[in-house]
Each structure stands twice: as structure tokens, then as C-alpha cells.
Amino acid sequence: MTAEVAPINAAAAAPAAPANRLRSIMAGSAGNLVESFDWFVYAAFGLYFSKVFFPEGDRTTQLLNTAAVFGVGFFARPVGAWIMGLYGDRVGRKAAMVAAVSLMCVGSLMIAVCPGQAQIGVAAPVVLVIARILQGVSMGGEYGASATYLSEMANRKTRGFWSGIFYSTLIAGQLMAMGVLLVLTAALSPEAMQAWGWRVPFFIGGGLAVAVFWLRRGMDETPSFHARTGPRATTLGLIRSHPREALTVIGLTAGGTLAYYTYTTYIQKFLVNTAGFAKDQANLITAGGLLVFMLVNPLIGAISDRVGRRAILIGFGVLGAAMTWPLLSTLAKADNVWVAFGLTTLALIIVAHYSSVNAVVKAELFPTEVRALGVALPYSLANAAFGGTAEYVALAFKQAGNESGFFTYVTVVIGSSLVVYLTMRDTRRHSRIAED
């Protein structure tokens, strides 16, 4: 049986006008920011609502339960990546992005209005899990669709720069979540934060998602999608025709996503639970590091437009494997806010060598007809296995009295990804995005 061939729209496949291209990229990025905000609000406010949904046990146990639900959301991401990846390759990148932000809105509002375990018993954590599953499906679909969209809308000479911008919007969403946290903790008493203040950011995220829904409806579709000529996207087709590329995405993602979530989400708990900083100090240290991280991603992405993506990834692999143990072990004993900020920021600058080119590298590996699925599905599998479990694994090591075991774990996984970086081709020179 002959595979169904996607139709061609020659007029629509023409390169977008610069103004339309920029407007569409920025609209997609704004949505990415809001999705990221909604996703990371959970991690940022976990210290405050963990007791509401999991009142039993000490602080580490409560955080462990909250981290487990965070991980559940990650394991839903491959489902979203699979569904939205196929949808994005068959119907359009824009359509997948609109659907993804709608699901995120529903998940955020569910958490915002859900009563605690004291009011509805075991139903409270059940609702929390369902909401995180919806958000996980959304985030899994969002990443593949928006990374593909941005890579296809950017021109050939600046794709690395726009890949850095793409990740900066993810960081900006997380930074915005931290900003809301800092404002609320300054304005409200600890009792008010514990009682209801943690719900505010989930309402904010739901409202912003509604605004992005309407914004995305007005975006242009990419020229690459309109110009596709290959067979209709299928999961089996991806596995059969592009196994090496899919495995490359899993391998290059594993170390990067583990390092990313170690230094952007778990680090807040690490500073409080291990280094002994107060919550407000940990929030400031994390927010300051994220601000620098956000600013350096486009710069490193732009450098990749000149020296290639592979060289940047190798830099992350070498520095990440060599510096993880010294950074985390020193940070665990830090007793000065500025020292902790410097160490955290250094770690994030190293991670930026992965995050800045992450989106474009994956998009450049696949042909148009399976690009959204190829970007999203293997990435989400690796992200769930290594990124989504980062907090849980770290806290489990700590609870077992062997926290340094986590440092070794991160080092080994980054080292494994380094092998992939050393053996893969440079996608800047071998890009499969034909349109400019």
C-alpha cells in the first residue's frame, strides 16, 4: 500500500516576509513563555503547598511526594509529544501549539481551585495528579511543536540565535514564576502563603494561557510545513526510517535535561534542605542565576551559527562532567549568599551550552514530514526519564544518607551524553531544514 503523500502549497511555501516571520516567531515565543510559567509554578511553589496535599511526614518526605507528582507530569509528556507531534506534522505546527496551550490552561486552573487533603481527603492529591498529567501532555506537545515552528520560521544564518531565544523564553517563564514567588512572599505572611497565597500563580497562569490561545490563532504557518512532500507522518515511520536520529535525540538530551532540572528546579530545594539557606535567600539565589542563564542563551546560540552546534554541545559535555562534583559539593557547604549565587550561575552557564542549541539541533536532524514528532517524542522520553526524575532521585539519595551519590549520577549521565556529542554530525552543516 502506497503511503499517503502530503499536499504541496507552492504559494504558501514561499519564504515568509521578514516582518511576518518576526511577528510569528515572537508570538510563538510568548506562548512558550506562558507554558513554561504554568509548568514551573508547580516547582517554585512546592515548598508551600506540599503540606496542603501531603500533610504527613517531615519536610523531606512532603517534598519527596510533591516531587513524585512533578515526575508524573513528566511521564505524561511523551504522550503529549506523541499526540501533538503527529498532529503538528499532519495538521500544522500552529494547530498543535493552540491545542497545547489550551490543555495547560485547564491543568493550571484545576490546581488553583482544588481543596487540600484536609477538606476532601485522598481526592486532593488525585486531582493534583490529574492536573499535572494534563499539564504534562500539554508541555510535551508544546515543546515539539514550538521548537519545530521556531526552527522552521528562522532563517538559515540565525537559527542558533533563535534557538537560544526559544530557551530564553522557557527560562523567562520560570523566572516569572520565581518573580511571582518573590512578590508574594514579600507581601504575604508565611501563614497566608501556606493557606492560599500559593494558589495565586496558578490563577495567573490560567489567565495568561487564555490570552495566548487567542494570540496563537493569528500566527502564520511555516513555509516548511506547506512545502512538505514526504509520506504522512506515523510513529512506525519515524522508528523505521529515522532510528539513528531518534536515538541521537535521546542521547544528547539525557545529560542536558538532567543538568537543567538539577540547577533550575531542584537547586531551590537543595539550597534550603542541604546548604541551610532560608527560603527567601534560596529564591533570590535561584532567580539571580536564572536571569544570567536567560541572557547568555541567545549569545551562545549565536556563536553556534558560526562555529557549529556540535562544538557547543561538546563544551557542555566536557565542562558538565568535570564540574558537577566540585560545584554541588562546594555549594552544599556554602554559607554565603554571594558564593552560592556565583556557583549556581557558573553551573547554569555550563548548562547553557546545551540549552541554547537544543531546539535547533533536533529540528535539523529530521525531514519536514516527521519533524514535529521526531523533535518531540524522543526528547520527551529522555526528559521524563532523566529530567522529570531529577528532584525525586536527588531527594531519595539524600533520604538514604548518600547525597553525594546524586552528584556522581549527574556526572555519569552527562558523560554518557558527551559520547553522543563526540560522535554525531554537526547539524548546522548537515541541516535537513531545506527552506530559508
State residue 194's pLDDT score: 81
23-27, 300-304, 353-357: which range is least confident on average? 23-27
Please say if the pLDDT value at position 411 is more than 90. Answer: yes
Cell output for 84: 501533538
State residue 306's pLDDT score: 93
State residue 232's pLDDT score: 79
Q: What are phi and psi of 231, to 5 degrees?
A: -65, 160
Give residue-wise pLDDT tens across range 46-75. 778 777 877 666 566 666 667 677 677 777
For residue 13, count CB atoms less than 10 angstroms from its CB and return exposed for 0-12, middle for 13-18, buried for 19 or more: middle
5-19, 28-42, 301-315: which range is least confident on average? 5-19
User: Domain residue spans in the chain?
Assistant: 18-225+237-423
State residue 146's pLDDT score: 86
138 within 8 A of 80, measured Cβ to Cβ: yes
DSSP annotation string for 205-269:
HHHHHHHHHHHHTTPPPPHHHHT--SBPP-HHHHHHH-HHHHHHHHHHHHHHHHHHHIIIIIHHH
When pLDDT is averaged across residues 372-392 and rounded to a whole number, the result is 88
User: How far is CA 435 from each of CA 27, 170, 335, 376, rounded to the nearest angstrom?
Assistant: 20, 26, 52, 20
41 within 8 A of 177, measured Cβ to Cβ: yes
Closest residue by Cα to residue 202 from 132, 130, 109, 283? 109
When pLDDT is averaged across residues 172-192 and rounded to a whole number, the result is 87
State residue 16's pLDDT score: 54
- Which CATH superfamily includes the segment(s) 18-225+237-423? MFS general substrate transporter like domains (1.20.1250.20)
Cell output for 294: 536567560
Please say if the pLDDT value at position 300 is more than 90. Answer: yes
CA distance 276 to 298: 33
233 within 8 A of 365, measured Cβ to Cβ: no
When pLDDT is averaged across residues 238-264 and rounded to a whole number, the result is 92
Please say if the pLDDT value at position 405 is more than 90. Answer: yes
Q: What is the mean pLDDT of the chain?
A: 85
Residue partners of 19: CB distance under 8 A and separation at least 6: none
State residue 241's pLDDT score: 86
Closest residue by Cα to residue 148 from 326, 410, 331, 364? 364
The proportion of the chain whose per-residue pLDDT surpasses 70, expressed as a percent, equals: 91
Give residue-wise pLDDT tens across range 334-357. 989 999 999 999 999 999 999 999
State residue 4's pLDDT score: 40
Please say if the pLDDT value at position 326 is more than 80. Answer: yes
Closest residue by Cα to residue 151 from 306, 359, 311, 355? 359
State residue 356's pLDDT score: 94
313 within 8 A of 354, measured Cβ to Cβ: yes
380 within 8 A of 77, measured Cβ to Cβ: yes
Please say if the pLDDT value at position 327 is more than 80. Answer: yes
173-182, 189-198, 260-269, 427-436: which range is least confident on average? 427-436
Task: Quickly state the pLDDT bin for 320 (edges 50, 70, 90).
Answer: very high
Give residue-wise pLDDT tens across range 200-238. 999 999 888 888 888 787 777 887 887 777 677 788 888
Of 148-162, 230-244, 289-303, which one has max mean pLDDT? 289-303
